[in-house]
Amino acid sequence: MENYAVLKEEQNEFQCTVSNILYFKGIGLHTGKEASIIVKPSKADSGITFVRKDLNPNLIIKAKADNVCSTLLRTSIGLKKEGNAKDASGCISTVEHLMSALWGAGIDNALIEVYGCEIPAMDGSARVFYESFYESGIKELKAKRKYIEILKPIGVDSENGDKGPSIAVYPSEDFEISYDMDFSHPLVQSGSFDMKIDGFNFYGEISKARTFGFLKDVEYLKKSGLALGGSLDNALVLDETSVLNKEGLRYKDEFIRHKVLDLIGDLYLSGYRIKGRVLAKKTGHDMNSKIVKKIGEHLNSVPLAAGKKEDNGFINVGKAAATVFA
């Protein structure tokens, strides 16, 4: 099989984890239930690992695209049952904002204990998570950081052709995103965003962009069991002509920047940072997940990418202690 992507060690960079234990609590954006997580340091090459501590026995879920169990208005991961790709247990909803913050803060390895079925929404962006990681400290490990390097274009197109969403990633020495959005709203409208993104500009340019929704859709979403915890405290809400949040917008183009924030978090479910130029058009979590899985398919033939067997399964993990963020 021809290689379109390869996993390489970056000789001048080292893997990182959090220095201390951090505790976050809040409301789940979609479930409306209280949610809390504890983020703990983890060893090199362990990656990002979620543990459902509220389940007995505890359930370990690796942060990887193969474990995605839902992409309906958010990205959820769970432990897939062998031989049944559609069925998963212990699903954790809305991991994308946390994953984006981990990427932005340069955290390669972390153990995340989850108490509930959703990550707390905080303010609807990645800001609180990101700031907390830096305030608490980030620890450099001895192992070299690994990147997925795109060698040839990899893409996913919509069944609707040019009118539908599409996403592709091309070779680049950096991580770049070009995103095109199209909404029929006077404030959101159509727009483009194009930027080389790294740990230095992620905080200022991306992390503070909040999730958003439309007032006219709230009743339908709640009847569908979604956005039950949504409020002006954790989302931008728009009526037909304006933003209802008193704070207003944090960026003039906050809507498209949040779509980029989501995309970064979804791409990090590849398990690694990516060196490539991403061209995305009107994508959501479903298309984001598809491109990550397609990249993974092309990594399967690369010896370094095969790695060691994942520890997906049931175990008991650690005790909680913490710096608290709520």
| Residues annotated as part of the active site | 285
SS (H, E, C) 123-151: CCCCHHHHHHHHHHCEEEEEEEEEEEEEC
The C-alpha angle with vertex 276 and arms to 272 and 280, in degrees rounded to 5, equals: 100
The Cα 122–Cα 126 span in angstroms is 8
DSSP 204: I
d(CA 259, CA 100): 11
Judge contact between 169 and 4, C-beta under 8 A: no
Residue 149 to residues 4, 9, 42, 169, 174: CA-CA distances in angstroms?
9, 10, 24, 10, 9
d(CA 107, CA 215): 36
CA–CA dist 95, 85 (Å, integer): 19
Kind of pairing, strands 76-81 and 68-70? antiparallel
